[in-house]
Amino acid sequence: MQIRAGYDIAFQCAQETPMILMLSIHPSRVKDLQSPHSIQFSHDVQAHDYLDMFGNTCTRIVAPPGLIEIKNDFLIFDSGLPDAAPPPGPLQPVGELPDDVMVFLLGSRYCDTQKLSDLAWSLFGHIEDGAARVQAIVDYAHQRIEFGYHHARNDRTAFEGHEERIGVCRDFAHLAVTLCRCMNIPARYCTGYLGDIGVPIDPAPMDFSAWFEVYLVNKWYTFDARHNHPRIGRIVMARGRDAADVAISTNFGPTPLVRFTVVTEEVFSEASPAVAPMWMVA
């Protein structure tokens, strides 16, 4: 299938402000693009990309004072298959894990493993199968937290989400990631596009979504503690230890967000209109 995705975001800058943007799709999905993928700005700013320590594409700019608008609109191919389930099997011993996954066993800014370790072992320690243990963790996080956009808070840790029992998709992901790490299962936080494809349409405005991946049987597998159901059409943008590593923007100065629109939708016909050209404002 083809998916149309993109965004229209605007910040109000009080002064010239350096910014790091993580608004590109992940390099692993570039091969699936069906149209140009290019971040467009409402001012002629100098932008350059680099790869961070996790292999994500980051864009650096210095935004001028005033309103800066950031847009993208592209088509991408997707298999149309739901998230793959891992096969049953015992957990891989920590001593046999690859070097590059070890960091995803450690506590991080929003994944405060030391506060949830005893709880995790009491709840999930009896489950020997790796896939079953992860699913039990996902079920627990899904049931523990009540979703609501009005519950959003950008500094809530996994432990706080567990205790407050409210949150948005990032809080579900942080809690599940943290509980997995407590159980010696490498887990990494993911952010990207997830449209209502193959499921009832959510009337709430579209947003970027958060989910997570675990390393089982020598491979990374996708899980989603908020939806707790295999989904179609995920487009990953970035992966990291937690939300601090994959923020859509890191602004080095006051930059209130004044507009935020995200689009993710299936394109049903080859006769559908082409992606609209982006515009530039001098």
Q: What is the pLDDT along the chain (282 residues), one digit of tens a residue?
A: 999 999 999 999 999 999 999 999 999 999 999 999 999 999 889 999 999 999 999 999 999 999 999 999 999 999 999 999 999 999 999 999 999 999 999 999 999 999 999 999 999 999 999 999 999 999 999 999 999 989 999 999 999 999 999 999 999 999 999 999 999 999 999 999 999 999 998 888 889 999 999 999 899 999 999 999 999 999 999 999 999 999 999 999 999 999 999 999 999 875 444 443 333 332
pLDDT (0 to 100) of residue 270: 58
Alpha helices in the chain (DSSP H): 117-124, 130-144, 158-164, 169-182
pLDDT tens digit string along 206-239? 899 999 999 998 999 999 999 999 999 999 999 9
pLDDT (0 to 100) of residue 104: 98
pLDDT (0 to 100) of residue 206: 85
Q: What are phi and psi of 263, to 5 degrees?
A: -125, 130
pLDDT (0 to 100) of residue 277: 36
Residues 6+ apart with CB under 8 A from 270: none
pLDDT tens digit string along 149-185? 899 999 999 999 999 999 999 999 999 999 999 999 9
pLDDT (0 to 100) of residue 238: 98
- Cα separation, 22 vs 19, in Å, equals 10
Nearest to 5 by CA among 196, 170, 198: 196
pLDDT (0 to 100) of residue 204: 84
- Cα separation, 5 vs 2, in Å, equals 10
DSSP 93-136: PGGGS-GGGGGGGS--SS--GGGTHHHHHHHHTT--BHHHHHHH
Stated pTM of the model: 0.92
Question: Please, is 15 exposed, middle or buried when counting C-beta atoms within 10 Å of its C-beta (0-12, 13-18, 19+)?
Answer: exposed
For residue 248, what are its two tokens?
């859509």
Helices (H) and strands (E) counted in the chain, each on its own, are: 4, 14
- Cα separation, 107 vs 12, in Å, equals 34
